Structure 1
Amino acid sequence: MFFLYFYTVTATANLLAALSLDGKDSAGDRQVNGSALELLISELVNTLTLTTQETKWGSETAAQSDEPKEEGAVEARTLADAPKRSTGVRSSPMVSGWQEVPDNSELMEQVYVKLELIGFRIGRRLAERFAPPNRRLTDTLDIVKFVCKDIWMLMFNRQIDNLKTNHRGIYVLQDNKFKWFLRMSGNNGGAAAARRAQPYIWLPCGIIRGVLDSYGVGTVVIAETLGLPQCTFQIKVVSDA
C-alpha cells in the first residue's frame, strides 16, 4: 500500500509540474492527456484516503492489543466494532474512479493536510517554471491574476470565471465548471454530492497557496462547492513580502 501511495503521489507531482503551458511540442515541454490526468488525480485522492484509513485502523488495533486484559476475559470484539472503511462507491455510485468519501471528520482532516501539502509543493514548482518571462510579479493582485489566468489555463484549459477582492487581503475565485467535477455524478445531488466532491478541491487549494508562497505571499486558502460543477476558492493573505 505504501508503494502505491508513493507512486501515485510522485506521478501526480511530476505530471502537473511538467505540463505544457502553450500546448506546443517544444523542446523540454511534455504534454499530458487531460483524461489520464483526471484519473490520476482521482486515484491520488482514493489512495490517500485508503492509506490514511489503513494507518488509523492499524494504530487503533495495535493500541487495543496492548491494553491489559482481565484474567479470564474473553475477546468480544467483532468486525462490526471496527471502524468502517470505504472500498468504493456503492449506494450512490459516481463515475468510475471517484470514490465515496468516508463520514469521518478526523480521518478526512488528515487526508486534507496530505493533499494540501502535495498541492503546495506542486504550486511552487509550477510558479517557478511558468513565471511570466517579460515581467516581475510583485503586486499580490497581479499574482492572483496569474493564478486565475495562466495557472488555471495550464491545469484546466480554461480561466477562472470570476475574481473578486475587497482590496484588504481577501480574494475570491469562482470556477463555474470546475473540470474535475464535470464527470462526477450521483443518485443524490445537493449537499451529498458536494460532500463527496470536497476532497478533489483540496489539491488546488495547496497549488494556489504554493504559487503565492513562491512570490513571498503567505496565504490561507479554503474552498467549497455548493453544487457541482461549481466551486469557489477564498484566498486570505496572512503576510506579504
Structure 2
Amino acid sequence: MDMSSGPSFLYHLLANELSVLLMGELDQAVENMAPLPVPSKRKKIPDPPTVPVPTVHVDRDAVFSKLEAIGFQVGLRLVERLTKDHPRFKDELDVMKFICTDLWKYIYEKQVDTLRTNNQGTFVLTDNSFRPLSFFGVEGIDQYYPASARFIAYPCGIIRGALSALGTKCTVSAKAMSMVCCVFEVIVDRS
C-alpha cells in the first residue's frame, strides 16, 4: 500500500509532529538554562549586569504522558468509528484480536505480527516492522535508538484508549527491541 496517502499517512504526520513539538519543549527548557562561564585569556572586562534567565522545567515524563493522553483520545474515537457495525465481542481475547487486526490495519496498513497471552490478563503484541520507528532509523544504526521512546508513547495511548472504549481497563507499556521492532505489553486490570 502507498504510505503517502490515506489515514496511515496522516497518522504518521500527526504522531511525528506531536513528538517533535513536545520534545522540542523539553529541548528548549534545556537550552534556556544559564550557559557555563567560558575562561578567557584576554583582559578582564567587567561582566554586564546579569539578567536572570527564567528556567522552564519540562519533565520528560510529563511529555510522554501528554503524548499518551492524546493517543488515548484518538484510540477512543477510532474504535467508536470502527465498531459501529461490528458485532459484540465475546471476551478479552476477541477484543485483543480486533485491536491486532482491524485497528492495527486501519492505522498501519498491516496487522500485528504476533499476539501472545498467558490467559491471565497479560497480552504481548509484537510488530516486527513498526512504521513510526522505521521512518527515522536504519537497521544497525543505533544513533536514534534512545529517541524511539517518544514515538512509542502515542501508540500506547491509542491501544489503551481503544481498549477503554471496548470496556477493558488496562495498562499498556512498550519497548523498542530494535529500530523497527516494537513489543507492546497490555495488562488488563481485573479489579
Q: Percent of pairs identical after alignment?
A: 30
After TM superposition, the score normalised by the length of structure 2 is: 0.77
Q: CA deviation at 1:133?
A: 2.2
SS of 2:144 mapped into structure 1:
helix
Post-superposition CA distance 1:124-181 (Å, at most 9, x none): 1111110162410241111111110000000000000000000001000000000112
Post-superposition CA distance 1:90-147 (Å, at most 9, x none): xxxxxxxxxxxxxx9x732111100000011111111111016241024111111111
Who is 2:141 aligned against? 189
8 Å contact kept, 1:143–1:212: yes
How many equivalent pairs are there?
173
8 Å contact kept, 2:138–2:179: no
Q: CA deviation at 1:50?
A: 2.2
AA partner of residue 147 (structure 2): R
Q: Does 1:150 align with 2:102?
A: yes
Residues 25-64 of structure 1 aligned to structure 2 (within 5 Å): 32=6, 34-52=8-26
Who is 1:209 aligned against? 160
Q: CA deviation at 1:228?
A: 1.1
Distance 1:161 1:173 in 2: 8
Q: Does 1:136 align with 2:88?
A: yes
Distance 1:164 1:157 in 2: 21
Distance 1:170 1:152 in 2: 19
Structure 1 residues 187 and 209: alpha-carbon distance in aligned structure 2, compared to 1, 3 A threshold:
closer
Which consecutive residues of structure 2, in runs of 5 or more, have no partner in the other structure? Answer: 35-47
RMSD between aligned alpha carbons?
3.2
SS of 1:136 mapped into structure 2:
coil
8 Å contact kept, 1:219–1:238: yes
Who is 2:189 aligned against? 238
Residues 158-173 of structure 1 aligned to structure 2 (within 5 Å): 158-173=110-125
8 Å contact kept, 1:194–1:226: no
Structure 1 residues 55 and 138: alpha-carbon distance in aligned structure 2, compared to 1, 3 A threshold:
farther
Distance 1:57 1:181 in 2: 26
Distance 1:77 1:169 in 2: 56
Larger RCO: 1 or 2 (CA < 8 Å, sep 6+): 2
AA partner of residue 87 (structure 2): R
Distance 1:197 1:168 in 2: 29
Distance 1:53 1:174 in 2: 31
Distance 1:150 1:33 in 2: 14
Who is 1:69 aligned against? none
Who is 2:77 aligned against? 125
Structure 1 residues 187 and 219: alpha-carbon distance in aligned structure 2, compared to 1, 3 A threshold:
closer
Distance 1:184 1:224 in 2: 16
Distance 2:135 2:158 in 1: 22
Q: CA deviation at 1:35?
A: 3.9
SS of 1:203 mapped into structure 2:
helix
Structure 1 residues 56 and 138: alpha-carbon distance in aligned structure 2, compared to 1, 3 A threshold:
farther
8 Å contact kept, 2:104–2:111: yes
Q: CA deviation at 1:48?
A: 1.5
Bigger Rg over Cα: 2
Who is 2:175 aligned against? 224
Distance 1:77 1:187 in 2: 46
